[in-house]
Amino acid sequence: MNIGLNPLLLVTFFPLVGALVVLLLKPKWKTALRWTALVTSLITFGLSIWMLTRFNDIDPEIQFELNLPWITLGNNQIGFHLGIDGISILMVLLTTFLMPLAILSTWKAVEERIKGFMAFFLLLEVGMLGVFLSLDMVLFYVFWEFTLIPMYFLIGLWGGERRVYAAVKFFLYTMAGSVLMLAGILWIGLQYGSFDLTQLSGSGLIPAAAQLWLFGAFGLAFAIKVPMFPLHSWLPDAHTEAPTAGSVILAGILLKMGAYGFLRFNLPLFPNATVTLAPWMAGLAVIGILYGAAVAYLQKDVKRLVAYSSISHLGFVVLGIFALNLQGLQGAILQMVNHGLSTGALFLIVGMLYERRHTRLLENFGGLWKVVPVLGTLALITTLSSVGLPGLNGFVSEFTILLGAFSSTVIGSPWFAGVATLGVILAAVYLLFMFQKLFLGPVTHEENKKLKDVSAREILILTPILIFAFWIGIYPKPFFMLMAPAVEKLTALVQSAALLAH
């Protein structure tokens, strides 16, 4: 196999090339720096599309596999093992899709130290893609930790007032979880002689008793990242203090790494523990859905509100994952994409408002639909997609998740889904409250009367997201088709492994 032309390698490391170019440019060449980053991310997106065209969507197996020997540890090989399947391809596409939009959103917002910003941003992309494509646990861990560093600096250097606090909190929370995961990885590697996911998945090597502990070790890292109640308290601060582009990526992609981790590690590696613990995880997810929605309702800061809404939305993802049936899992994966689009767009809109008014407090807005009608309309559609209005993307995934959870034999009771459905009401409560505070009512502040409506660049940022919002809402079939074989394989694997144990 020709390594140089492996699409995964190209996609993952192309942003690194861009980052190197950025490093060679002089800090004062602001335009050149911006364009370099943008073009790099666009080419990466192009590469991922090229990969998609070559992807065989009826094959449930890993594709474009690349396995190079990397480190030898005693008798164990740690491989540089990349591969993609129906579960990760959507995450990769989401990443490469959101990146250019996020970079474009910094055009006016980031004026200082652009060089560092763009370099970190592109490095972040390398890390995230690596996480989604790694098939070796150690390699996964390396990429997983690698994403922390650029994000830490993005929050800590370009963030808001309490940026240092938020950055440290973000770092420590994530670290605390991943240390346990590292211990788990090493234990598995030394005990069972392999770090390779493809060898360990569904192998039945790990006994049920050990699975519970390992599920806990991995699950804690992922639950913090998702974040699940009650491990979420880093998220509101990190979201609020991060620069707009950082929030977009944080909400859009970094959180998905947690949910993806559950799908890639906990389900296939510890199927018995998964089945045993599914009701508990579902319970936490339901609490997260309602809790995030309740707490979001009365926030005074828009970004905090959206941050708590993420907790609620990702609760749906976790609920879907642990429903462990096709509807639940496919809904969960689609919900990951949808949350990336909707919440990403919400953060972009909040960022646009912030650029105009330099405040994020709800009380400083009101009546903006009259002043900025186009932005108001775009914000309305985004809000509705987040509310889960049928015809837009959020509904398809939330409905399938709830349907899956309702009929899930693993969760065992329709009550979980029934109570979670209340989240549908609460989502309308807090999101419409937000929309009203921002855009409806009379214009109460003199400064707001002369705000400029969206520029062409801003429309260019939001339009692609909204196109996808409608597309997924009306014709989600291609997305479901893409993931279906891999999800079917995963469900079969978990169910058969769990059956064997009983």
Q: Which residues here bind other proteins, judged by CB under 8 A?
A: 169, 172-173, 229-230, 232-234, 291, 294-295, 297-299, 325-327, 330-331, 367, 369-370, 373, 384, 389-391, 395-396, 399-400, 402-403, 406-407, 414, 417-418, 421-422, 424-425, 428-429, 432-433, 436, 439-444, 474-477, 480-481, 484, 488
227: cis peptide before it, omega within 30°?
yes
Cα–Cα distance measured from residue 151 to residue 238, given in angstroms and rounded to the nearest whole number: 10
Closest to other proteins by CB, 193 vs 441, is: 441
Report in angstroms how near the CB of residue 176 gets to other proteins at its nearest.
Answer: 8
Which 8-state DSSP code applies to residue 252? Answer: I
Report in angstroms how near the CB of residue 467 gets to other proteins at its nearest.
Answer: 14
Backbone angles phi, psi at 81, to 5 degrees: -115, 110
Report in angstroms how near the CB of residue 67 gets to other proteins at its nearest.
Answer: 32
Report angle CA 82, 86, 89 to the nearest 5 degrees: 60
**How many Cβ atoms are within 10 Å of 75's Cβ, its own excluded?**
8
Report in angstroms how near the CB of residue 484 gets to other proteins at its nearest.
Answer: 7
Closest to other proteins by CB, 252 vs 366, is: 366
Cα–Cα distance measured from residue 476 to residue 480, given in angstroms and rounded to the nearest whole number: 6
Cα–Cα distance measured from residue 53 to residue 477, given in angstroms and rounded to the nearest whole number: 17
Report in angstroms how near the CB of residue 474 gets to other proteins at its nearest.
Answer: 8
**How many Cβ atoms are within 10 Å of 390's Cβ, its own excluded?**
12
- Distance (Å) of CA 34 to CA 27, 121, 372, 412, 461: 11, 11, 27, 52, 15
Question: Amino acid identity, residue 34?
Answer: R
Report in angstroms how near the CB of residue 250 gets to other proteins at its nearest.
Answer: 17
Q: Using CA atoms of 407, 412, 413, 419 in order, give the dihedral in degrees to the nearest 10.
A: -80
Report in angstroms how near the CB of residue 403 gets to other proteins at its nearest.
Answer: 6
Closest to other proteins by CB, 200 vs 384, is: 384
Closest to other proteins by CB, 108 vs 477, is: 477
Report in angstroms how near the CB of residue 145 gets to other proteins at its nearest.
Answer: 19
Backbone angles phi, psi at 444, to 5 degrees: -100, -15
Closest to other proteins by CB, 27 vs 391, is: 391
- Taking alpha carbons only, the member of 171, 165, 83, 170 closest to residue 129 is 83
Q: Using CA atoms of 497, 498, 499, 502 in order, give the dihedral in degrees to the nearest 10.
A: 120
Query: Tokens for 101?
Result: 């939009």
Are 271 and 207 in contact by the 8 Å Cβ rule? The answer is: no
Concatenating the DSSP letter of every residue in 22-47 gives HHHS-TT-HHHHHHHHHHHHHHHHHH
Closest to other proteins by CB, 14 vs 435, is: 435
For 64, the enclosing helix (H) or strand (E) is strand 63-73
3-state secondary structure of 65: strand
Strands (E) across 76-221 are located at: 76-84
In sequence order, which residues have a C-beta less than 8 Å from that of residue 475 and are 6 or more positions away? none
Cα–Cα distance measured from residue 289 to residue 423, given in angstroms and rounded to the nearest whole number: 6
Q: What is the largest CA-CA distance in the chain?
A: 71
Closest to other proteins by CB, 30 vs 445, is: 445
Report in angstroms how near the CB of residue 440 gets to other proteins at its nearest.
Answer: 4
Report in angstroms how near the CB of residue 280 gets to other proteins at its nearest.
Answer: 18
Closest to other proteins by CB, 270 vs 395, is: 395
Closest to other proteins by CB, 56 vs 444, is: 444
Closest to other proteins by CB, 73 vs 172, is: 172
- What would the 3-class secondary structure string for 66-82 be? EEEEEEEECCEEEEEEE
Closest to other proteins by CB, 42 vs 428, is: 428
Report in angstroms how near the CB of residue 443 gets to other proteins at its nearest.
Answer: 7
Closest to other proteins by CB, 6 vs 421, is: 421
- Taking alpha carbons only, the member of 184, 109, 201 closest to residue 154 is 109
For 63, the enclosing helix (H) or strand (E) is strand 63-73
Whole-number CA gyration radius for the chain: 22
Closest to other proteins by CB, 80 vs 297, is: 297
Report in angstroms how near the CB of residue 456 gets to other proteins at its nearest.
Answer: 17
Report in angstroms how near the CB of residue 289 gets to other proteins at its nearest.
Answer: 13
Cα–Cα distance measured from residue 167 to residue 161, given in angstroms and rounded to the nearest whole number: 11
